């Protein structure tokens, strides 16, 4: 295998149309999310078919996050030893990453989440306001930015004036209103906290 995402990968076999498998794209470009939900999907194998797994995979546009959210994943060792996997595999199949205890072993999980991301993303989001007096200085409502970047949890977005502060988690902008210092353009750095 190559260039793969394993979101709670294990043998499933929905022969009786039990549960559902749904997908959708939510949000607005360039910050959309592609969400795939496996709900109450039976495991493969005669003795295992009464076990049902529910989980979702979320792919984030621009940020390139990969979220795996496990609602419930039981284990049945009667088929293929009950092995399952959460992880990612690179383009040529030579490098992989899996959370602790979730790499091709027997495991159960309930209400568990994992995020795969690059150490620090430099995705760009542009926020423009009209400068009525044309002096190059304006007041920006950072709450609007936070809502746009994370509509489900805007309080999880922290904003900084420098990349070094964002990486260190220090000197965050606490006010919802921000006036740019550099005329006509100001670069800020946002960090999304994972809870």
Chunked mean pLDDT (size 10), the chain, 195 residues: 91 87 91 94 90 95 88 93 92 89 92 80 67 84 84 85 86 91 86 69
CB atoms near residue 48 (< 10 Å): 21
pLDDT value of position 146 = 86
Q: Which of 127, 146, 161 is nearest to 192 (CA)?
A: 146
User: What is the chain's alpha carbon radius of gyration, rounded to the nearest angstrom?
Assistant: 21
pLDDT value of position 63 = 80
CB atoms near residue 164 (< 10 Å): 11
pLDDT value of position 44 = 92
pLDDT value of position 122 = 56
Which DSSP category does 154 fall into?
G
Task: Indicate yes or no: pTM above 0.85.
Answer: no
Helix (H) / strand (E) element for 166: namely: helix 163-168
In sequence order, which residues have a C-beta less than 8 Å from that of residue 139 and are 6 or more positions away? 129, 177, 178, 179
Instruction: Give 102-131 pLDDT, tens digit per residue.
Output: 988 999 999 998 988 765 555 677 777 777
């Amino acid at each position: 295998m190559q260039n793969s995402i394993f979101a709670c990968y294990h043998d499933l076999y929905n022969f009786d149309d039990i549960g559902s498998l749904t997908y959708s794209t939510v949000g607005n470009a360039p910050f959309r999310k592609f969400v795939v939900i496996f709900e109450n999907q039976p495991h493969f194998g005669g003795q295992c078919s009464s076990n049902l797994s529910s989980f979702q995979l979320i792919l984030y546009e621009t940020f390139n996050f990969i979220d795996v959210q496990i609602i419930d994943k039981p284990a049945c060792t009667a088929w293929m030893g009950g092995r399952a996997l959460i992880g990612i595999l690179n383009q040529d199949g030579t490098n992989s990453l899996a959370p602790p205890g979730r790499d091709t072993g027997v495991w159960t999980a309930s209400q568990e989440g994992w995020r795969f991301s690059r150490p620090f993303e430099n995705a760009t989001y542009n926020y423009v306001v009209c400068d009525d007096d044309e002096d190059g200085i304006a007041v920006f409502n950072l709450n609007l930015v936070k809502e746009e970047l994370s509509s489900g949890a805007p309080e999880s977005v922290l904003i900084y004036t420098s990349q070094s502060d964002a990486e260190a988690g220090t000197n965050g902008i606490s006010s919802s209103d921000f006036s740019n210092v550099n005329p006509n353009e100001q670069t800020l750095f946002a960090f999304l906290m994972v809870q």
